[in-house]
């Protein structure tokens, strides 16, 4: 009897040990977040302002850490902020931004080294080509050295094209000629050869601008200087640009042998004055009730339209996931979006995945469901 009891006891212990071992071998399922669901496709990023870099709001900070695998500083690395005078650099927020990305093990994107807008006056006022070259070289090299090996990719040049694909008459073009483009990429790669270097612009699904971007990037590559990627900002609307043109751009850019990133994605749901496209921030129009219809929230019909538009766009991204490195939203929630002030000041826009109360919108659910459905079908 005693032997039988001992035997049963040993069996019970064995069952318990084997059970525990098996349980520990089962991979715990990861929480359903954008970051996790899209992990095997491309990075999902967001743009952060100072309030988010400081993690002042714990709910916001939680969303950033859980939902996104990449970050871009919305403003803090622009020349006017980071390098306001020849001998003055403001590294406080850029340093915090990079540390935050490392804390959450994120892909960190630097925005932007050469841009005609938000340009420090001391650079804008240079009239001599040698002096401009020296200023740009030291600007690029100082910033890139500081974050070498930590910032994973850079928008080396931002918005150098006109809508017809010709080169924008920026102060850089006027003072240095087209050489500034290739030189900017060369100086960046000399300091951090491992970082991915991008040309970034808006309206990149527009056929004429697409051809201009291809010419611009090819010209640099033909000089033996590396360009790793093209950034399509993705400041889009409910009906434009067409899905066909978005797809064409992804395919044609990738055919150059570079990565394609969607770098500043948002979809305006508000009436668009004069059918404006893009992000030319000098443009501004009169506000009115007709121009600002959703001040008390987005009606269900628009909620559905936005979700469908995001789903259609993400279907294209997923179809071309082999070409796409990253899809970054231009902000976390609607309250933060620059589209509340552009192209009409003081409106209430709803372009992102989280609403003003930080609740995920139908668009969020739809792009999660889309990926989960595709994963199921391919299993
Ligand atoms: O979202 C940014 C906004 O807060 C700034 O006031 C504005 C000017 O610096 O820039 C916005 O971001 C722009 C980005 O840097 C480049 N592409 C267009 C974006 C929207 O204007």
Nearest CA to ligand 1 atom 6: 338
Mean pLDDT along residues 112-122: 98
Mean pLDDT along residues 304-332: 98
Ligand 1, from 76, 281, 282: best to mutate by most atoms within 8 Å of Cβ?
A: 281
Query: Which residues make beta-bridge pairs with 161?
Result: 167
Taking only the tens place, the pLDDT of each residue in 86-112 is 999 999 999 999 999 999 999 999 999
Domain count, the chain: 1
Measured CA to CA, the distance from residue 296 to residue 4 in angstroms comes to 74
Query: Which residues make beta-bridge pairs with 158?
Result: 115, 200
Q: What percent of the chain shows pLDDT beyond 90?
A: 86
Query: Looking at the predicted structure, is the pLDDT value of residue 28 above 90?
Result: no
What is the whole-number distance in angstroms between the Cα of residue 74 and the centre of ligand 1? 7
Is 159 designated active site? yes
Q: What percent of the chain shows pLDDT beyond 70?
A: 91
Nearest CA to ligand 1 atom 20: 279
Least confident of 221-225, 341-345, 368-372: 341-345
Measured CA to CA, the distance from residue 72 to residue 301 in angstroms comes to 31
Given pLDDT bands bounded at 50, 70 and 90, which one contains residue 352? Answer: very high
Query: Looking at the predicted structure, is the pLDDT value of residue 16 above 70?
Result: no
pLDDT at position 22: 57
Query: Looking at the predicted structure, is the pLDDT value of residue 119 above 90?
Result: yes
Query: Looking at the predicted structure, is the pLDDT value of residue 282 above 80?
Result: no
CA torsion 108→114→116→119, rounded to 10°?
Answer: 80
For residue 117, which of 342, 273, 329, 275 has the smallest C-alpha distance? 342
What is the whole-number distance in angstroms between the Cα of residue 216 and the centre of ligand 1? 22
Query: Looking at the predicted structure, is the pLDDT value of residue 7 above 80?
Result: no
What is the whole-number distance in angstroms between the Cα of residue 230 and the centre of ligand 1? 18
User: Does any domain span residue 139?
Assistant: yes
User: Does any domain span residue 41?
Assistant: yes
What is the whole-number distance in angstroms between the Cα of residue 374 and the centre of ligand 1? 34
User: Does any domain span residue 333?
Assistant: yes
- Which has more pLDDT, 379 or 120? 120
Measured CA to CA, the distance from residue 256 to residue 274 in angstroms comes to 34
Query: Looking at the predicted structure, is the pLDDT value of residue 150 above 90?
Result: yes
Query: Looking at the predicted structure, is the pLDDT value of residue 290 above 90?
Result: no
pLDDT at position 287: 76
What is the whole-number distance in angstroms between the Cα of residue 47 and the centre of ligand 1? 10
> Is 233's C-beta closer than 6 angstroms to any atom of ligand 1?
yes
Measured CA to CA, the distance from residue 360 to residue 355 in angstroms comes to 6
Measured at the CA of 379, the angle between CA 34 and CA 259, to 5 degrees, comes to 50
> Is 74's C-beta closer than 6 angstroms to any atom of ligand 1?
yes
User: Does any domain span residue 77?
Assistant: yes
- Which has more pLDDT, 187 or 277? 187
What is the whole-number distance in angstroms between the Cα of residue 75 and the centre of ligand 1? 7
For residue 339, which of 221, 225, 235 has the smallest C-alpha distance? 235
pLDDT at position 164: 98
Nearest CA to ligand 1 atom 10: 75
Contact 219, 182 (CB under 8 A): yes
Given pLDDT bands bounded at 50, 70 and 90, which one contains residue 273? Answer: confident
Taking only the tens place, the pLDDT of each residue in 244-263 is 999 999 999 999 999 999 99
User: Does any domain span residue 170?
Assistant: yes
DSSP state of 229: E
pLDDT at position 317: 99
Strands (E), 11-125: 43-48, 70-73, 107-115
Given pLDDT bands bounded at 50, 70 and 90, which one contains residue 301? Answer: very high
Nearest CA to ligand 1 atom 9: 118
> Is 279's C-beta closer than 6 angstroms to any atom of ligand 1?
yes
What is the whole-number distance in angstroms between the Cα of residue 209 and the centre of ligand 1? 20
Nearest CA to ligand 1 atom 14: 74
Least confident of 13-22, 113-122, 279-288, 312-321: 13-22
DSSP state of 78: S
Contact 228, 259 (CB under 8 A): yes
**The residue to which tokens 């200087």 are assigned:** 225
Query: Looking at the predicted structure, is the pLDDT value of residue 55 above 60?
Result: yes
Q: How confident is the prediction for the chain on average, in pLDDT?
A: 94
Query: Looking at the predicted structure, is the pLDDT value of residue 2 above 60?
Result: no
> Is 228's C-beta closer than 6 angstroms to any atom of ligand 1?
no
> Is 264's C-beta closer than 6 angstroms to any atom of ligand 1?
yes
Mean pLDDT along residues 8-24: 60
Dihedral pair phi/psi, residue 47, rounded to 5°: -95, 140
Nearest CA to ligand 1 atom 1: 338
Given pLDDT bands bounded at 50, 70 and 90, which one contains residue 15? Answer: low
Domain range enclosing 48: 36-378
User: Does any domain span residue 58?
Assistant: yes
The H-or-E segment that residue 248 falls in is helix 243-254
Identify the active-site residue in 25, 131, 159, 252: 159
> Is 338's C-beta closer than 6 angstroms to any atom of ligand 1?
yes
Identify the active-site residue in 25, 137, 264, 357: 264
Query: Looking at the predicted structure, is the pLDDT value of residue 80 above 90?
Result: yes
Query: Looking at the predicted structure, is the pLDDT value of residue 277 above 90?
Result: no
Measured CA to CA, the distance from residue 379 to residue 371 in angstroms comes to 12
Ligand 1 atom closest to the Cα of residue 338 is: 1
Mean pLDDT along residues 288-305: 93
Nearest CA to ligand 1 atom 4: 338
Nearest CA to ligand 1 atom 3: 338
pLDDT at position 286: 73
Domain with residue 155: its CATH number is: 3.20.20.80
What is the whole-number distance in angstroms between the Cα of residue 1 and the centre of ligand 1? 81
User: Does any domain span residue 213?
Assistant: yes
Q: Is the four-CA dihedral 248, 252, 255, 257 of positive or negative sign?
A: negative
pTM of the model: 0.92
Is 264 designated active site? yes
Pairing of strands 43-48, 259-268: unpaired
DSSP state of 167: B
Query: Looking at the predicted structure, is the pLDDT value of residue 46 above 70?
Result: yes
Task: Count CA within 13 A, CB hemisphere, residue 255.
Answer: 11
User: Does any domain span residue 28?
Assistant: no
């Amino acid at each position: 009897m005693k032997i039988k009891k001992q035997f049963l006891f040993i069996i019970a212990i064995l069952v318990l040990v084997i059970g525990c071992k098996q349980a520990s071998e089962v991979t715990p399922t990861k929480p359903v977040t954008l970051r996790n669901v899209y992990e095997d496709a491309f990075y999902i990023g967001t743009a952060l302002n100072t309030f988010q870099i400081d993690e002042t709001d714990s709910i916001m900070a939680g969303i950033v850490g859980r939902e996104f695998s990449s970050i871009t500083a919305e403003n803090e690395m622009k020349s006017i902020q980071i390098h306001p005078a020849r001998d003055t650099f403001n590294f406080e927020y850029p340093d915090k931004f990079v540390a935050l990305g490392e804390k959450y093990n994120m892909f960190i994107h630097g925005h932007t080294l050469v841009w005609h807008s938000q340009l420090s006056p001391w650079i804008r006022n240079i009239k001599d080509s040698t002096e401009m070259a020296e200023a740009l070289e030291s600007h690029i090299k100082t910033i890139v050295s500081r974050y070498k090996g930590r910032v994973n990719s850079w928008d080396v040049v931002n918005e150098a094209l006109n809508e017809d694909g010709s080169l924008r008459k920026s102060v850089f073009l006027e003072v240095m000629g087209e050489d500034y483009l290739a030189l900017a990429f060369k100086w960046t790669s000399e300091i951090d050869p491992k970082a991915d270097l991008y040309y970034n612009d808006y309206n990149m699904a527009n056929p004429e601008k697409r051809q201009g971007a291809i010419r611009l990037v090819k010209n640099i590559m033909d000089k033996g200087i590396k360009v790793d990627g093209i950034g399509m900002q993705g400041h889009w609307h409910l009906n434009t640009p067409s899905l066909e043109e978005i797809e064409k751009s992804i395919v044609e850019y990738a055919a150059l042998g570079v990565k394609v990133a969607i770098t500043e994605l948002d979809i305006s749901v508000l009436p668009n004055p004069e059918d404006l496209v893009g992000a030319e921030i000098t443009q501004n129009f009169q506000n009115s009730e007709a121009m600002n219809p959703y001040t008390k929230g987005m009606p269900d019909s628009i909620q559905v339209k936005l979700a469908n538009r995001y789903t259609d766009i993400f279907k294209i991204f997923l179809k071309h996931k082999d070409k796409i490195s990253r899809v970054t939203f231009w902000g976390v929630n609607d309250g933060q979006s620059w589209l509340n002030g552009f192209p009409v000041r003081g409106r209430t826009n709803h372009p992102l995945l989280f609403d003003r109360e930080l609740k995920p919108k139908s668009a969020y659910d739809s792009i999660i469901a889309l990926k989960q459905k595709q994963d199921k079908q391919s299993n």
